Structure 1
Amino acid sequence: MTTPMPDTITPPLSAKDEFRRGWGIIAASVLGIGLGQAAMPTYSMGLFAPHLASQFGWGVGQIMTCMTIIMLVTLVAGPMSGALAERIGARRVVLWAIPLWGAGFCTLALSDGSLTRYYVTWALIALVGSATLPITFTRGVNRAFDKAKGLALGLSMTGTGLFGIFGKPFVAVMIAKYGWQTSFVALGLLPIALAWPAAWFLYREDDTGSHGAEHAPAERPGLTLAEALRDYRFWLMALALVPVSFALGGPVPNMELILKDGGLTPVQVMAIAPLMGLASMTGRLVGGFLLDRIWAPAVAFVVLSLPAISFLYFASGALSPGMAAAAVFTLSFALGIEYDAVAFFVARYFGLRRYGGIYGLLYICFALGAGISPMFFGRDHDAFGNFHHILTLSAYILVPSAALFLLLGKYRRFAD
């Protein structure tokens, strides 16, 4: 008769070990998120809008309604994608979604002047594109990292900033040389050619956490969805996210027009616009570093409040290249931490047991604000010839809304 050996406890991994094991998930997430629904429409539609308006006689508000449609579809499809990732794994979800998303984006080249068909096309694109949002990709990142969770999330979502740096010039050059139809096709092929192979080879979700023990999804520590919905922190986050995302989400797809309205030349605008991506990526890295070391709600409040200064400057109507670049950088730096902070909040306050479902519901609040904002910005421009009124309103609602995060309290601790 043999004596059973005592259970051994595997020591927690260091941050260095976490990165050595989880770099593939981060790399795949960078490309998946950067070439997914979170980045491509937001950073590209401002470039397509003038050409669609010229071709079909549509107003800027009508064109930017596509962002509202994305939001409406995401209200339903976002939580469904998160729940599906919990059930069958995020890797399976994104491997199906990425090629469908890319192919759908290509079909925008078939736009023929019918707003109805344009909107229906966007609805179908958003339906599959919701599975390319951070809801799915950050599931694997959160499960692979603990000590370096904030930095890992920041790194994984630098893809949106990279698209802002390289995607905007790519689209601008493609439109100038080949026209808007070919540019839609070229843009749609990027996730198929780059993000899908990365997901196939690198996104390996093995349900192994940073403590070295394997868990089935239901066994991960944390709150159930019902428990989270009974927690005041969930509703506090939801209440803050709608106005914050409204204020931050509207200027991004309209940035070229905002800068032109301020008196900048097309050359100056194209020199400043790529700063959005660089600043967003910087915000993700710096923000992720800070989230790991400083109480996250305080970081979120300070960084998310600063763009109010940018909005008031944009609303002044008389821009200089240097000051405009600084204002764009400040706004985009804040955008770089918004996604990361929500993902970090969910992991720290609710745990990972139902991460996808909880994040999915909170993403609805983010999508609601960011989805309707570009349409309101566009319609304000159509009505007044500028964005001054809506920018001023955004500045006034941003700071008190971001301050709500300060009421979240201490992090929870979940026993493995």
Structure 2
Amino acid sequence: MTDHNHTALGEFRRGWGIILSALLGIGLGMASLPTYSMGLITPLLVRDFGWSVGQIMVCLSIITLISIGGAPGFGWLTEKYGARRIVLIGLPLWGLSMAALALSNGSLTRFYLTWVAIGLTGSATLPITFTRTVNRRFDKAKGLALGLSMMGTGLFGFFGKPVLALVLNDHGWRAGFLLLGALPVLVAFPAAFLLLREDERTLPDGHHVPVERPGLSLAQTLRDWRFWLMAAALLPVSFALGGPVPNLELILRDGGLTPAAIITVTPLFGLASITGRLAGGWLLDRIWAPLVAFVLLSLPAISLHYLGSGGLDVGHAREAVFLLGFALGIEYDVVAFMTARYFGLRAYAPIYGLLYVCFAAGAGLSPVIFGHDHDVHGNFNRMLTACAVLLVVSAASFLFLGRYRSFPAPKPRDHSPVR
């Protein structure tokens, strides 16, 4: 066994609980549940309340706008108070907010206000909080650890969406929202309570102190051109990838697939996301991350071009959905990995929070624009074709980032009591 593999194995032995709690927290948090569920629930709301697809998808823009302020804010709070406190407060409130959607009564105003509460509470469940702890515990196996942690989104897409579809079919959309609200409270919260631990060391006097991690300060990072290059690239990448996901069922339906065929196609997205996170994480530990990002984030252009071409068949639709899911499984991982490698861990959470704003802005606004385009033209073909080009051009920007930075080894802060 090589030294790299031996060190990586030791990291996993010590940090498996953190990975599991992050997997469940991210997979059942705001980065996952709304995106994967609203495509199934939207047609039922259209039927019962007469709302348009565009009006309903405004909900994703609401939580996006809140994330723009919430992500950096919770990044700062995470650095100040630790991820564990933020997560243990945020997960129950987030679950209750999601469950409150079951009380919707046909008022768009009430529907939107509920999503405001969802955005405020859900910001505590974003990958910012969980990936901070993972990044601080892993070094040699950082990419794979991040991939495993973020695999929860794919697991929900693969296992959760079919279950949600059955609940919606048998009991309606109100029961669906109750299910979505219960999962964070009954599954993610207990895991975080039992397994999520801060990165601390024990001093000879028995005191537990946080490990001081090296890196750039937030102010230094904001003066670094690499930060702004990453931010500029993330916005169009997230726009191109964020629109098709919540509209996937509608895209396939407009392409001519039957509801029965669609049910056999969409679960592949979650499976592909799982595969993409594992493969991408393994590659990030061995290959220059910007090159990995360029290749894997450019591949979905093939899917977008095909999905926007019109008449679809089941076989090619499965391939396109799998390829799209494979790439979408790596985007958060790449950003978390490159944040740690280029800027260090001294101010990781607020830096990642600001970069997440760019991702959230593109991913949140895209479904609304997609929905409006569908309302006007009756399909998504124009948007999908344009996003295929946009994706390749923006992903290529990462290739200009250059070499990783080197940071000194971490050391514990001296918090021993004054004698």
TM-score (norm 2): 0.94
Moved over 2 A (4+): 206-209, 214-219
User: For the structure 1 residues 72 and 218, does the alpha-carbon distance in structure 2 shift closer, same or farther, using more than 3 Å as the test?
Assistant: farther
User: For the structure 1 residues 208 and 351, does the alpha-carbon distance in structure 2 shift closer, same or farther, using more than 3 Å as the test?
Assistant: farther
Q: Distance in 2 between matches of 1:225 and 1:314?
A: 41
**DSSP 3-state at the match of 1:138:** helix
1:283 matched to which residue of 2?
Answer: 276
User: For the structure 1 residues 215 and 363, does the alpha-carbon distance in structure 2 shift closer, same or farther, using more than 3 Å as the test?
Assistant: farther
Question: Partner amino acid for 1:327?
Answer: A
User: For the structure 1 residues 82 and 217, does the alpha-carbon distance in structure 2 shift closer, same or farther, using more than 3 Å as the test?
Assistant: farther
2:261 matched to which residue of 1?
Answer: 268
Q: Distance in 2 between matches of 1:260 and 1:238?
A: 34
2:245 matched to which residue of 1?
Answer: 252
Question: Partner amino acid for 1:375?
Answer: V
Pairwise CA distance, 1:193:
0.5
2:375 matched to which residue of 1?
Answer: 382
2:310 matched to which residue of 1?
Answer: 317
46, 57, 77: which one aligns with 1:64: 57
Answering whether residue 9 of structure 2 is matched by residue 16 of structure 1, we say yes
Give deviations 1:163-187, integer Å, cap 9, x for gaps: 0011111110001111111111122
**Conservation of the 8 A alpha-carbon contact between 2:281 and 2:333:** yes
1:96 matched to which residue of 2?
Answer: 89
188, 202, 211: which one aligns with 2:195: 202
**DSSP 3-state at the match of 1:223:** coil
Pairwise CA distance, 1:219:
2.7
Answering whether residue 163 of structure 2 is matched by residue 162 of structure 1, we say no
Q: Percent identity?
A: 64
**DSSP 3-state at the match of 1:406:** helix
Q: Distance in 2 between matches of 1:255 and 1:172?
A: 14
Q: Distance in 1 between matches of 2:279 and 2:393?
A: 23
**Conservation of the 8 A alpha-carbon contact between 2:68 and 2:357:** yes
**DSSP 3-state at the match of 2:160:** helix
Q: Distance in 2 between matches of 1:27 and 1:412?
A: 29
Give deviations 1:307-357, integer Å, cap 9, x for gaps: 111111011111111100000011110100000000000000000000000
Aligned residue pairs, count: 402
Question: Partner amino acid for 2:334?
Answer: A
**Conservation of the 8 A alpha-carbon contact between 2:199 and 2:211:** no
Pairwise CA distance, 1:206:
2.7
Answering whether residue 123 of structure 2 is matched by residue 152 of structure 1, we say no
**DSSP 3-state at the match of 2:308:** helix
Question: Partner amino acid for 1:284?
Answer: R
1:366 matched to which residue of 2?
Answer: 359
Give deviations 1:279-298, integer Å, cap 9, x for gaps: 00110000000000000000
Pairwise CA distance, 1:215:
9.8
Pairwise CA distance, 1:21:
0.2
376, 400, 405: which one aligns with 2:393: 400
Answering whether residue 291 of structure 2 is matched by residue 298 of structure 1, we say yes
120, 136, 145: which one aligns with 2:113: 120
**Conservation of the 8 A alpha-carbon contact between 1:310 and 1:327:** yes
**Conservation of the 8 A alpha-carbon contact between 1:256 and 1:269:** yes
Query: RMSD over aligned Cα, in angstroms?
Result: 1.6
Q: Distance in 1 between matches of 2:60 and 2:383?
A: 17
1:86 matched to which residue of 2?
Answer: 79
110, 130, 145: which one aligns with 2:123: 130
2:417 matched to which residue of 1?
Answer: none
- Paired residues for 1:332-351 under 5 Å: 332-351=325-344
**Conservation of the 8 A alpha-carbon contact between 1:217 and 1:353:** no
Pairwise CA distance, 1:247:
0.2
Question: Partner amino acid for 1:337?
Answer: I
Answering whether residue 236 of structure 2 is matched by residue 243 of structure 1, we say yes
Q: Distance in 2 between matches of 1:317 and 1:274?
A: 21
**Conservation of the 8 A alpha-carbon contact between 1:86 and 1:217:** no
Question: Partner amino acid for 1:151?
Answer: L
**DSSP 3-state at the match of 2:406:** coil
34, 56, 69: which one aligns with 1:41: 34
Pairwise CA distance, 1:112:
1.0
Pairwise CA distance, 1:116:
1.2
Q: Distance in 1 between matches of 2:208 and 2:293?
A: 31
**Conservation of the 8 A alpha-carbon contact between 2:199 and 2:210:** no
**DSSP 3-state at the match of 1:316:** coil
**Conservation of the 8 A alpha-carbon contact between 1:218 and 1:353:** no
User: For the structure 1 residues 323 and 107, does the alpha-carbon distance in structure 2 shift closer, same or farther, using more than 3 Å as the test?
Assistant: same
175, 197, 200: which one aligns with 2:168: 175
45, 51, 54: which one aligns with 2:44: 51
Question: Partner amino acid for 2:347?
Answer: R
**DSSP 3-state at the match of 1:98:** helix
Q: Distance in 2 between matches of 1:109 and 1:323?
A: 36
Pairwise CA distance, 1:197:
0.4
Give deviations 1:209-259, integer Å, cap 9, x for gaps: 9xxxx9966831000000000000000000000000000010000000000
**Conservation of the 8 A alpha-carbon contact between 1:24 and 1:202:** yes
Answering whether residue 416 of structure 2 is matched by residue 414 of structure 1, we say no
Pairwise CA distance, 1:389:
0.8
**Conservation of the 8 A alpha-carbon contact between 1:26 and 1:152:** yes
Q: Distance in 2 between matches of 1:323 and 1:336?
A: 20
